[in-house]
């Protein structure tokens, strides 16, 4: 069993350790490891395998290309080349699947080889395989999930330890959870890409990540955390999608979740994915969503599946793109924060347009209200009216999901 590995960062190292730890059970031979600068690895135990020239990789014989360099280019070109050479590919690259999944699955099929990507979603949690194999007999109606370890880690530390956003982000980077450019984590792109991969597979239509409503956690402050605590909630970056009448709706955004909910018990770098299938009902998968060993474990399982001839290609990426609705059209509640001295005027508006509301806090500095409405449109309209009247320039809105 011969493999070539592209990338020797967090996940690459995790995979190499797993191969080493399991060498009595499985004899996997690493033919080469591609890095950016091989001079940095002169002291490494694997220095003899390390190269910074892709031609060295392709000049050796191997059965599986494991792509762990991330990003779109040149990862796309390397994977394409391997598939066209009839070499199976394992990747953890969610950015690429979300962008070029259709093209790569087509090339894999044309060349009768396999493209596997368990590690692209949920880190160490087996979720792609259960979704596409174990739940195959189900129509998946909807899913909700925490899909980014870095942001869950940040929100957990802000909540539990009162640490600032910037302090915790640094820690998450040191622990190897964050992306090379952490903007992808904190602005929700990474979670949206993962949600689009799961939604594509679950609904068997191509769902494009940029079509979701998308909001990251960079504007969450300690006051949001304070109000969440006051209401018996936590704040989580949640991805949710739903298939309804040939239309998908979905978002990735920070939301309030009740302390008794499933989502609120998933902290730090842990992820959770919950599917709702017509036969199975609600089924959830929880585990470490980021980190060296956990993600390495998923990559390793894909490699073993290919060696054991459990080959499959999932067609869903090649299906027609489906329309995605960004707004919540059913009953919802949201915490609204208004920094303004015109609290009376604002309350009058709320009274007129909202079915029901609770005042969470009202002080010289800020008016904080929980509103209950039958569509998110209503909230957006009220916020626009309040702004247009000049009562409050900038308000904050945080949905609560149950
Ligand atoms: N940056 C990602 C996360 C890594 O924090 O979840 C795992 O995909």
- pLDDT, one tens digit per residue, over 65-78 is 999 999 999 999 99
pLDDT for the residue numbered 363: 87
pTM for the structure as a whole? 0.97
pLDDT for the residue numbered 87: 98
206: DSSP letter = B
Q: What is the mean pLDDT of residues 370-374?
A: 95
Q: Ligand 1 within 6 A of 32 CB?
A: no
Question: Would you place residue 320 in the very low, low, confident or very high pLDDT band (cuts 50, 70, 90)?
Answer: very high
CATH 3.40.50.2300 fits 128-289+320-325, yes or no: no
Strand residues in 76-180 grouped as ranges (E): 88-91, 115-116, 140-146
Query: Residue 155: is its pLDDT beyond 90?
Result: yes
Question: Would you place residue 402 in the very low, low, confident or very high pLDDT band (cuts 50, 70, 90)?
Answer: confident
Tens of pLDDT, residues 38-51: 999 999 999 999 99
Closest C-alpha among 144, 87, 378, 107 to residue 283: 144
50 CA to centre of ligand 1 in angstroms:
25
User: Domain 332-401 falls in which CATH fold?
Assistant: Alpha-Beta Plaits (3.30.70)
Superfamily of domain 2-116: NAD(P)-binding Rossmann-like Domain (3.40.50.720)
Q: What is the mean pLDDT of residues 9-15?
A: 97
Closest C-alpha among 241, 147, 239, 162 to residue 200: 241
Catalytic residue among 13, 94, 157, 194: 194
| Average confidence score pLDDT of the chain | 96
Q: Is 246 in the active site?
A: no
Indicate the domain borders of the chain. Answer: 2-116, 128-289+320-325, 332-401
Q: Ligand 1 within 6 A of 289 CB?
A: yes
pLDDT for the residue numbered 399: 96
Q: Ligand 1 within 6 A of 11 CB?
A: no
Query: Residue 213: is its pLDDT beyond 90?
Result: yes
39: DSSP letter = G
5 CA to centre of ligand 1 in angstroms:
20
Q: Ligand 1 within 6 A of 302 CB?
A: no
The dihedral over CA atoms of 182, 148, 332, 215, expressed in degrees to the nearest 10, equals 20
Question: Would you place residue 124 in the very low, low, confident or very high pLDDT band (cuts 50, 70, 90)?
Answer: very high
């Amino acid at each position: 069993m011969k493999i070539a590995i592209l990338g020797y960062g967090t996940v690459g190292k995790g995979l190499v350790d797993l191969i080493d730890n399991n060498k009595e059970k499985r004899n996997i031979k690493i033919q080469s490891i591609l890095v950016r600068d091989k001079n940095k690895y002169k002291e490494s135990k694997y220095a003899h395998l390390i190269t910074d020239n892709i031609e060295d990789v392709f000049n050796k014989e191997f059965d599986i290309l494991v792509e762990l360099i991330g990003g779109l280019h040149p990862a796309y070109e390397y994977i394409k080349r391997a598939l066209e050479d009839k070499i199976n590919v394992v990747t953890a690259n969610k950015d690429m699947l979300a962008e070029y999944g259709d093209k790569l699955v087509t090339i894999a099929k044309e060349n009768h080889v396999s493209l596997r990507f368990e590690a692209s979603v949920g880190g160490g949690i087996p979720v792609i395989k259960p979704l596409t194999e174990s739940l195959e007999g189900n129509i998946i109606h909807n899913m909700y999930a925490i899909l980014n370890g870095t942001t869950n880690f940040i929100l957990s530390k802000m909540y539990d330890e009162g640490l600032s956003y910037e302090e915790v982000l640094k820690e998450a980077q040191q622990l190897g959870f964050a992306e090379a450019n952490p903007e992808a984590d904190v602005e929700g792109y990474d979670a949206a890409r993962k949600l689009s991969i799961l939604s594509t597979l679950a609904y068997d239509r191509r769902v494009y990540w940029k079509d979701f409503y998308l909001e990251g956690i960079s504007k969450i402050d300690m006051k949001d955390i304070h109000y969440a605590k006051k209401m018996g909630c936590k704040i989580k970056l949640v991805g949710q999608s739903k298939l309804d009448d040939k239309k998908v709706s979905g978002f990735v955004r920070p939301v309030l979740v009740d302390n008794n909910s499933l989502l609120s018990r998933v902290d730090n770098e842990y992820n959770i994915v919950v599917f709702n299938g017509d036969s199975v009902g609600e089924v959830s998968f929880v585990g470490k969503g980021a980190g060296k060993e956990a993600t390495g474990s998923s990559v390793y399982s894909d490699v073993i599946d290919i060696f054991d001839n459990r080959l499959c290609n999932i067609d869903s990426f090649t299906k027609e793109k489906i329309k995605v609705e960004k707004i919540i059209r059913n009953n919802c509640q949201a915490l609204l924060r208004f920094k303004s001295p015109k609290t009376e005027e604002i309350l009058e508006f709320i009274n007129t347009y909202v079915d029901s509301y609770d005042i969470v806090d009202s002080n010289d500095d800020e008016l904080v209200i929980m509103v209950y409405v039958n569509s998110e449109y209503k909230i957006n309209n009220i916020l626009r009216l309040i702004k247009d009247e000049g009562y409050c320039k900038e308000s904050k809105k945080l949905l609560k999901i149950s």
